[in-house]
């Protein structure tokens, strides 16, 4: 896959190197906070005064660290990238280029289907980062959060793709981004709201079936992207790239569509994405048809005919 020299997206934020407290330090801080709270609520008036004095002193002397220790403060980012200055590394350049490609393709394709395009954001992070839905953890794999219309990705996932699934070329990585961008396109199409509105109203089985449709639809949209990228940028795809995307479709079974139930609910459930044969089929439908409307069949076909 050829990718160098194209316009890079300006909607990519680099948070690699940012220190976000993990379970361990949060528990430690939370523990102290709980003890202080207990002393304050259950203790004698004297112990309450001691707690208050300690807190006031602590706040005056160690404002930042104290807030962090109690688990309530913002941890200053290590090398958090603020907008404007692009980091100079291969992975950032690659992901920004693929994001730029998606912006270019969808800003052309969506209006022809009667929808207005708005760009998604991307956050590149390492290990953990904050999201409006809670803390994202690299173990979750890449995901799209509709609350802030952002794709969260820890690039070490790509190494895992290579090592575990033999997805070697860079199209596999582009495919992962295109699938996640597909979820953003679904958000614009209103398909995510539709899925979320079913929660609690249908059985778990029915909900899972519906989410399989949504996942296959994201693969379909990735296929549309690949087709238009090929047409727009020329030699975008090389021999074997589609097969690679198919292997990859299998591998990103860990990708989880985020359900937005409010803070603290990043990734509450995992569910299936359809079989790899189904995923390959729908990616190809997108690639060969290039027509957003063809994907609507995913929501009307009986489940066993997907
Ligand atoms: Zn997905």
What whole-number distance in Å separates Cα of residue 251 and Cα of residue 272? 12
Q: Say if residue 193's pLDDT is above 50.
A: yes
What contacts 161, CB < 8 A, 6 or more positions away?
167, 172, 173, 176, 248, 251, 252
Structure confidence at residue 201 as a pLDDT band (50, 70, 90): very high
Centre of ligand 1 to C-alpha 218, Å, is 6
Residue the block writes with tokens 């379970």: 23
Q: Tell me, in angstroms, the distance from the centre of ligand 1 to residue 212's CA.
A: 9
248-254 average pLDDT score:
58
Gap from CA of 38 to ligand 1 centroid (Å)? 44
Residue entry with tokens 């001691």: 50
Query: 93 CA to middle of ligand 1, Å?
Result: 23
Q: Is the dihedral of CA 15, 18, 21, 24 positive or negative?
A: positive
Residue 64 CA, chain-centre distance (Å), reads: 29
pLDDT, tens only, 208-238: 888 889 999 999 999 999 999 999 988 788 8
**pTM for this entry:** 0.74
Tens digit of each residue's pLDDT (9 = 90 or more) over 25-37: 333 334 455 445 5
Summarize the confidence of residues 188-193 as an average pLDDT: 92
Query: What pLDDT does residue 251 have?
Result: 60
Mean of all residue pLDDT scores within the chain: 77
DSSP string covering 98-153: HHHHHHHHHHHHHHHTT----PPEEEEESSEEEETTEEEEGGG-SEEETTTTEEEE
C-alpha 64 – ligand 1 centre gap (Å): 38
């Amino acid at each position: 896959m050829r990718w160098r020299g194209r316009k890079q997206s300006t909607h990519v934020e680099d948070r690699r190197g940012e220190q976000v407290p993990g379970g361990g330090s949060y528990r430690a801080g939370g523990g102290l906070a709980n003890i202080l709270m207990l002393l304050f609520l259950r203790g004698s008036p004297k112990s309450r005064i001691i707690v208050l004095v300690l807190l006031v002193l602590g706040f005056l002397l160690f404002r930042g660290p104290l807030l962090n220790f109690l688990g309530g403060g913002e941890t200053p980012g290590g090398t958090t990238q603020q907008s404007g200055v692009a980091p100079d590394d291969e992975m950032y350049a690659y992901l920004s280029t693929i994001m730029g490609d998606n912006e270019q393709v969808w800003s052309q394709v969506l209006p022809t289907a009667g929808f207005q395009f708005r760009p998604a954001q991307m956050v590149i992070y390492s290990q953990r980062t904050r999201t409006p839905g809670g803390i994202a953890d690299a173990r979750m794999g890449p995901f799209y959060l509709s609350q802030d219309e952002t794709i969260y990705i820890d690039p070490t996932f790509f190494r895992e793709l290579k090592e575990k699934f033999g997805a070697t070329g860079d199209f596999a990585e582009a495919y992962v981004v295109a699938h996640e961008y597909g979820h953003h396109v679904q958000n614009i199409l209103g398909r995510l709201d539709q899925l979320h509105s079913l929660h609690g109203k249908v059985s778990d089985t029915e909900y899972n079936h519906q989410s399989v449709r949504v996942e296959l639809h994201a693969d379909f949209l990735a296929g549309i992207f690949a087709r238009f990228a090929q047409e727009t940028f020329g030699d975008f795809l090389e021999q074997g790239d589609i097969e690679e995307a198919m292997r990859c479709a299998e591998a990103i079974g860990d990708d989880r569509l985020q359900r937005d139930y409010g803070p603290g609910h990043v990734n509450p459930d995992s569910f299936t994405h359809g079989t790899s044969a189904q995923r390959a089929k729908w990616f190809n439908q997108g690639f060969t048809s290039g027509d957003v409307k063809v994907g609507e069949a995913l929501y009307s076909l009986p489940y066993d005919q997907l």
